[in-house]
Amino acid sequence: SEVYRAGLSGDRPKVPVDAAALELAAKKGLTAEAFAYLAGGAGAESTMAANRAAFDRWRVWPRVLRDVSKRDLSIELLGRRRPTPFVLSPIGVAEMAHPEADVAVGRAAATLGVPYVLSNQASRPMEEVAAQMRDASFWFQLYWSRSDELNASFVRRAEAIGCEAIVVTLDTSLLGWRTRDLDVAYLPFTRGLGIAQYTSDPVFADLVRDRVAAGGTAGPKSRVTPTLLASALSIARSGSHTMLVEGGVAEALRSPLPRAAVETFLDVFSDPSLTWDDLASLREWTTLPILLKGVMHPADAARALDLGIDGLVVSNHGGRQIDGAVATLDALPGVLERVGGRIPVILDSGVRGGADAFKALALGATAVGIGRPYAYGLAVAGAEGVREVVRNHIAELDLTMGLAGRTSIDAIGRDALAPAQA
Ligand code: FNR
């Protein structure tokens, strides 16, 4: 009703409300490469399609005449009452969508009380985003690096800025076969994008210095600091924008320090040899709640429980990792059954509106993660675009609840859905 009321005075929403129109609007304003990075999935993108199809296999089964004049969307999650059951999933290299990147997303999330999961691959250091978010909730997403010192340092920094939880993403031990990115020979990292979390880190600066000193790259032999690293990289990148047009992509990163930073990043980014045993060390580094993102199998959910993990995110990375993977909504019931209500289970991948969220909640998810839609909102209208997209999700969920005869999230049970007839 706020949108309609604003319409009376001639105000229109800044971003399209329809999910497909939103994606198209983002596409129009972005370079082909940037859109390929945001929108693309693995292989033939059949996992992306499966994520959507799984939502279509459930229909909402409404009840009527139940006084739905007051509705409460709040949930309890990680020891706090939250105004809505949404979280913003981590999206790396957000500068591909908008120059304000993570900072704009953080500002939008804070105004709505929606927890924002800061990406390990952020375009802005976590400290900068946290400063924008003040008392609002944010969590930090970790890609487990080959360097334990670096992992511990990221976690220490997250704790120091008031982060509420650590989310370890487990589905990206290797980067997926992303056809659209491959077609444009595009790997953001090799251009020094999305590594702000690293170049602002003292341990990472040491690693770069060691690499330079070992003679791998010519350059300064000492005094590599996070500030020096970050500024060297940003100088190189500001040059790269013109060179990018001329096709000399790597040229700007030839200067020794940025190049050593990018090479070091590529060395340490992830650790494909990681096992359940390694996760135990994370408990020693932090007292914060630990969530595992990318858990799809009930047996893995059981291992997580054994380890005392505090929450799971059922996710297939928006279909960006394995082509042909199980849809998240299909994986959800098995995971929930094994978890038995002991820890919260968040679902993401394929959520395109509040009615989708309703279905995930009805099947038992504790909360729902928004991914690409907010990145598209960011691309179209910066922080305000993110805010509108998230508000649209909240508003559609609110209406779906009311129209289905449910007035609280707890009241949305399995009986609120019917399987679609073939
Ligand atoms: C992601 N995702 C992601 N996940 C993560 O743990 N760390 C990250 O840095 C990123 N980066 C990232 C970039 C882009 C462009 C996308 C689209 C996704 C996955 C993300 O957190 C989430 O799981 C998916 O976006 C959910 O799928 P949908 O809703 O986007 O289809």
Q: Give the number of other CB atoms < 10 A from CB of residue 403.
A: 15
pLDDT of 308 reads 96
CA–CA separation, 371 and 69 (whole Å):
30
| pLDDT above 50 for 243 | no
User: Which residues make Cβ contacts (< 8 Å) with residue 158, sequence separation at least 6?
Assistant: 118, 126, 140, 166, 286, 288
> Is-contact 144 167, C-beta < 8 A?
no
Q: Is the Cβ–Cβ distance between 57 and 48 less than 8 Å?
A: no
Residue 90 beta carbon below 6 angstroms from any ligand 1 atom: yes
For residue 176 and ligand 1, the question of a CB distance below 6 A is answered with no
Residue corresponding to tokens 């047009």: 245
Integer CA distances (angstroms), 386 to 33, 65, 85, 89, in order: 21, 35, 17, 13
pLDDT band at 412 (very low <50, low <70, confident <90, very high): very high
293 is in an annotated binding site: yes
- What is the whole-number distance in angstroms between the Cα of residue 348 and the centre of ligand 1? 9
- Per residue in 325-375, pLDDT (tens digit) is 999 999 999 999 999 999 999 999 999 999 999 999 999 999 999 999 999
Residues 6+ apart with CB under 8 A from 18: none
Judge whether 348 is annotated as a binding position: yes
Give the span between the Cα atoms of 249 and 253, in whole angstroms: 8
Q: Which of 98, 241, 297, 317 is catalytic?
A: 317
pLDDT, position 74 = 98
How does pLDDT run across 279-300, given as a tens digit for each residue? 988 999 999 999 999 999 999 9
Q: Which domains are present in the chain? A: 2-174+271-419 (3.20.20.70), 188-268 (no CATH)
> Where does the pLDDT of residue 276 fall: very low under 50, low under 70, confident under 90, or very high at 90 and above?
very high
| Alpha carbon nearest to ligand 1 atom 4, residue | 90
Q: Cβ(169) to ligand 1 under 6 A?
A: yes
Kindly give, in sequence order, each residue whose CB lies less than 8 Å from that of residue 214, ignoring residues fewer than 6 positions away: none
Q: DSSP label at 420?
A: P
Residue 250: the pLDDT is 53
Structure tokens belonging to residue 322? 């394995």
**Mean pLDDT of all residues in 394-417:** 98
Rounded CA gap, 123 and 100, in Å? 9
Both structure tokens of 151: 């992992």
Cβ–ligand 1 distance for 351 under 6 Å, the answer yes
d(CA 179, CA 13): 33
Is residue 287 packed enough to be buried (19+ CB in 10 Å), middle (13-18) or exposed (0-12)?
Answer: exposed
- Listed residue (127, 104, 105, 126) closest to 116, CA to CA: 105
Distance 334 CA to ligand 1 centre (A): 22
Output phi, psi for 178, to 5 deg: -95, 100
Closest CA to 319 of 121, 46, 36: 46
Query: Hey, is 346 helix, strand or coil?
Result: strand
CA of residue 4 to ligand 1 center, whole Å = 32
pTM for the whole structure: 0.95
Number of residues that make up the chain? 422
Average pLDDT, the chain: 92
What is the pLDDT confidence band of residue 253, given thresholds at 50, 70 and 90?
low
CA pair distance 174, 212, nearest whole angstrom: 26
The DSSP symbol for 199 reads H
Q: What is the pLDDT of residues 173-205, one digit of tens each?
A: 998 998 988 887 666 776 788 999 999 999 999
pLDDT-based confidence at 305, cuts 50/70/90? Answer: very high
Q: Whose structure tokens read 């994606």?
A: 23
Mean pLDDT calculated for residue range 406-419: 98
Q: pLDDT tens, 128-161?
A: 999 999 999 999 999 999 999 999 999 999 999 9
Choosing from 87, 144, 178, 372 the residue with most ligand 1 atoms within 8 A of its CB, the one to mutate for a pocket test is 372
Whether residue 317 lies in the annotated active site: yes
The pLDDT assigned to 254 comes to: 64
Rounded Cα–Cα distance for residues 212 and 257 (Å): 8
pLDDT grade for 249, boundaries at 50, 70 and 90: very low
Residue 387 CA: distances (Å) to CA of 114, 266, 377:
10, 33, 8
Residue of 33, 35, 91, 121 to mutate, ligand 1, most atoms within 8 A of C-beta:
91
- Given the cut 0.90, state whether the ipTM is greater than it: yes
349 is in an annotated binding site: yes
Q: Ligand 1 in contact with 40 (CB < 6 A)?
A: no
Residue 1 is assigned to a ligand binding site = no
- Residues ≥6 apart with Cβ < 8 Å to 341: none
- For 149-181, the DSSP string reads HHHHHHHHHHHHTT---EEEE-S-SS---BHHH
Closest C-alpha among 206, 192, 353 to residue 258: 192
- Evaluate: CB of 353 within 6 angstroms of ligand 1: no
Q: Is 350 annotated as a binding residue?
A: yes
Q: Region of 91 please: left (phi>0), alpha (psi -120 to 50) or beta.
A: beta
| Atom 1 (ligand 1) nearest CA | 91
Residue keyed to tokens 């609110």: 398
